[in-house]
């Protein structure tokens, strides 16, 4: 007597359902392992999507030059980079004149959160916020890195040249200081200096951990920032390469700056030159390590679940010795008997995999609901991989 694969599956599911409490305890480790991997993958996929969108806003053909590597706003500078000389704003003119692959170069000055032990804050009558970022930019910055506005305008080259006290504010700052709207034309006190709001930027897309620093940024003319904070020398250059020539532009800028800064041949650059792709690759390396750790943790859960499957299969075979004998007596082959119990093991771990996937989706949705600023997206490959791995665990430990 031969049993079809469909009948084998029905017998396996019936056996699992008959001992459902025991089965649930057996697959608990598999549920935990699959839930961990799929949830972590979902969160990292959402974060990566936000980061990619974030740098698309900065321009795919742009190159960023700063004194140190990493986030310019990060106070923890690597020790070997602490002695690097600051960039000079006149480097922008030098690059613009000598580089054949560059369309334009803008200059920014990043004001630190504390200047002379005074925190940077923004205040209007009745409202105040210290969760702000202050940056001064040259007028051509808006053509290199366009900003979408919900109201008002950006400052003109004439305003930038004379150091006008005007400001473009991000959407989060506008909501905090002007909850009723109508920010354009209103004065705002920024660390003791009065600025007139001439524009409100639209909510930026993407970001790190769901937050985009542009939304809480106050942008003022470069000359205004230099007059207000003469002691700050945190300059950054943004160069826009001609279409399709970003790699050549990167080499040109590196050669020009090495000569201007008198870097000896063979020595490392004393500045950081990066592109959006390089930053995304660095993010991928970090998230790759996180995924490896989550896989190692989930592997322990799968191992525990697999051992449980071996144990329950041993119990199941022992309990059903008479059934096995009857089946063999009526013509069942050894392969049919093995396939029956192997199918039961696969049914166990497959159910654990599906349960883990459902839990991971619910956890991901709960995190997205509780922390809207943390993007999350369940990738199809994680769902498929989670189920396949759970089935393979059943096959391996079932055998």
Q: Is 29 helix (H, G, I), strand (E, B) or coil?
A: helix
What is the predicted pLDDT for the residue at 159? 94
Q: In this predicted model, which residue has the larger pLDDT, 202 or 118?
A: 202
pLDDT of res. 54: 67
72 closest CA partner among 201, 238, 254, 288: 238
Please say if the pLDDT value at position 207 is more than 60.
no
Q: Which H helix or E strand runs over 55?
A: helix 28-58
Give the tens place of pLDDT for each residue, 21-54: 777 777 788 888 888 888 888 877 777 777 676 6
Q: Is 138 helix (H, G, I), strand (E, B) or coil?
A: coil
Q: What is the mean pLDDT of residues 145-152?
A: 89
Residues 6 or more apart whose CB falls under 8 angstroms from that of 177 comprise: 122, 123, 124, 127, 128, 129, 169, 183, 188
Tell me what pLDDT residue 158 has: 94
What pLDDT, on the 0 to 100 scale, is given for residue 347?
A: 81
What pLDDT is attached to residue 286?
Answer: 72
- pLDDT score for 34: 85
Q: Which residues pair with 64 in a beta bridge?
A: 238, 274
Q: Could you tell me which residues are beta bridge partners of residue 106?
A: 238
Highest mean pLDDT among 61-75, 138-152, 324-338: 138-152
For residue 398, the model assigns a pLDDT of 77
- Structure confidence at residue 394 as a pLDDT band (50, 70, 90): confident
Q: Is the pLDDT of residue 260 over 80?
A: yes
SS3 36: helix
Instruction: Using alpha carbons, select from 387, 383, 349, 396 the residue that is nearest to residue 13.
Output: 349
Greater confidence, 73 or 191?
A: 191
- Average of pLDDT values for 301-317? 79
Q: Count other C-beta atoms under 10 Å from residue 393's C-beta.
A: 27
CA distance 79 to 295: 33
**pLDDT for res 336:** 74
Q: Which residue has the higher pLDDT, 315 or 125?
A: 125
What is the distance between the alpha carbons of residues 84 and 108, in angstroms, rounded to a whole number?
A: 18
| Tokens found for residue 318 | 């022992």
User: What percentage of residues in the chain have a pLDDT greater than 70?
Assistant: 89
- Whether the Cβ atoms of residue 357 and residue 387 lie closer than 8 Å to each other: yes
Q: Is the pLDDT of residue 218 over 90?
A: yes
pLDDT of 149 reads 92
Q: Looking at the predicted structure, is the pLDDT value of residue 178 above 70? A: yes
Cα–Cα separations (whole angstroms), residue 138 to 6, 107, 295, 399:
71, 5, 47, 69
Helix (H, G, I), strand (E, B) or coil at 114: strand
pLDDT at 155: 93
Banded pLDDT at 55 (limits 50, 70, 90): low
pLDDT for residue 301: 74
For residue 261, pLDDT beyond 70: yes
Residue 169 has pLDDT above 60, yes or no: yes
Burial of 189 (0-12, 13-18, 19+ CB in 10 A): middle
Note the pLDDT of residue 106: 94
Per-residue model confidence (pLDDT) at position 98: 93
Residue 26 neighbours by CB under 8 Å, 6+ apart: 305, 308, 309, 311, 312, 348
| Pairwise CA distance, residues 207 & 49, whole Å | 9
Report the pLDDT averaged over residues 63-69: 89
pLDDT computed for residue 374 by the predictor: 66
- The helix/strand/coil state of 379 is coil
Q: How far apart are the C-alpha atoms of 200 and 215, rounded to whole Å? A: 10
Cα–Cα distance between 254 and 153 in angstroms, integer? 34
Give me the helices (H) in 196-267, please.
Answer: 222-228, 246-260
Cα(341)–Cα(238) distance, rounded to whole angstroms? 65
Position 11 scores a pLDDT of 67
Higher pLDDT, 251 or 341: 251
Q: Per-domain residue ranges for the chain?
A: 5-53+281-398, 61-275
For the cut 80, the answer to whether the pLDDT of residue 81 exceeds it is yes
- How confident is the model at residue 2, as a pLDDT? 60
Q: Give counts: helices (H), strands (E), the chain.
A: 13, 14
pLDDT band, very low/low/confident/very high, at 315 (cuts 50, 70, 90): confident
The whole-angstrom separation of Cα 356 and Cα 354 is 5
């Amino acid at each position: 007597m031969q049993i079809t694969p469909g009948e084998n599956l029905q017998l396996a599911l019936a056996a699992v359902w008959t001992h459902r409490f025991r089965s649930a305890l057996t697959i608990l480790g598999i549920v935990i392992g699959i839930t961990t991997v799929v949830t972590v993958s979902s969160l990292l996929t959402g974060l990566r999507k936000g980061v990619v969108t974030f740098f698309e806003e900065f321009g795919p053909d742009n190159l960023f030059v700063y004194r140190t590597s990493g986030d310019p706003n990060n106070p923890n500078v690597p020790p070997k980079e602490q002695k690097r000389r600051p960039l000079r704003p006149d480097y922008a003119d030098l690059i613009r004149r000598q580089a054949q692959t560059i369309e334009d170069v803008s200059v920014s000055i990043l004001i630190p959160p504390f200047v002379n032990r005074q925190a940077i804050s923004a205040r209007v009558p009745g409202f105040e916020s210290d969760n702000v970022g202050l940056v001064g930019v040259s007028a051509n910055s808006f053509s290199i890195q366009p900003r979408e506005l919900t109201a008002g305008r950006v400052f003109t080259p004439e305003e930038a040249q004379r150091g006008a006290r005007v400001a473009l504010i991000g959407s989060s700052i506008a909501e905090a200081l002007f909850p009723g709207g109508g920010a354009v034309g209103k004065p705002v006190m920024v660390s003791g200096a009065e600025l007139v709001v001439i524009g409100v930027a639209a909510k930026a897309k993407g970001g790190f951990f769901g937050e985009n620093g542009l939304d809480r940024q106050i942008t003022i003319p470069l000359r205004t920032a230099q007059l207000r904070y003469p002691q700050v020398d945190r300059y950054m250059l943004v160069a826009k390469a001609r279409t399709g020539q970003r790699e050549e532009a990167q080499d040109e800028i590196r050669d020009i700056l090495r000569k201007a800064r008198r870097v000896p041949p063979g020595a490392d650059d004393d500045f950081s030159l990066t592109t959006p792709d390089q930053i995304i690759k660095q993010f991928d390396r970090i998230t790759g390590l996180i995924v490896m750790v989550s896989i190692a943790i989930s592997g322990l859960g799968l191992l525990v679940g697999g051992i449980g499957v071996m144990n329950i299969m041993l119990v199941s075979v022992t309990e059903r010795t008479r059934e096995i004998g009857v089946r063999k007596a009526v013509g069942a082959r050894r392969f049919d008997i093995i396939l029956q119990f192997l199918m039961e093991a696969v049914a166990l771990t497959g159910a654990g995999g599906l349960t883990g996937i459902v839990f991971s989706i619910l956890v991901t949705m709960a995190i997205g609901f509780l922390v809207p600023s943390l993007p999350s997206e369940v990738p199809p490959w994680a769902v498929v991989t989670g189920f396949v791995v759970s089935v393979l665990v059943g096959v391996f430990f079932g055998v």
